[in-house]
Amino acid sequence: MKKIIIFASGTKEVGGSGFQELVENSRTGVLDAPIIAVVSNFEKGGIQKRAQNLGVPFEHMPAPWSAEQYQAIIRKHQAEWVALSGWLKLAKGLDPQKTINIHPGPLPQFGGKGMYGHHVHQAVIEAYKNSEVKSSAVSMHFVTEKYDKGPIFFQYPVAIRENNTPETLAERVNKIEHGWQSFITNLVVHEKIKWDGKNPESLIVPSWYPFI
Is residue 141 part of the annotated active site? The answer reads no
Let me know: does 82 contact 73? Beta carbons within 8 Å: no
pLDDT band for position 13 (cuts 50, 70, 90): confident
Let me know: does 115 contact 88? Beta carbons within 8 Å: no
Let me know: does 58 contact 51? Beta carbons within 8 Å: yes
Q: What is the pLDDT of residues 80-96, one digit of tens each?
A: 999 999 999 999 999 99
The answer to pTM > 0.95 is yes
Has residue 164 got a pLDDT over 90? Answer: yes
User: What is the gyration radius of the CA atoms in the chain, in angstroms?
Assistant: 16
Supply the pLDDT for residue 1.
77
Q: What is the pLDDT of residues 47-91, one digit of tens each?
A: 999 999 999 999 999 999 999 999 999 999 999 999 999 999 999
Domain residue ranges of the chain, discontinuous segments joined by +: 4-104+140-153+177-194
Q: Choose, from 60, 77, 103, 118, the residue flagged as catalytic.
A: 103
Supply the pLDDT for residue 136.
98
Let me know: does 98 contact 4? Beta carbons within 8 Å: no
Tell me how far CA of residue 156 lies from CA of 65, 161, 179, 185, in angstroms. Answer: 30, 16, 11, 14
pLDDT band for position 11 (cuts 50, 70, 90): confident
The CATH superfamily holding the domain 4-104+140-153+177-194 is: Formyl transferase, N-terminal domain (3.40.50.170)
Let me know: does 33 contact 189? Beta carbons within 8 Å: yes
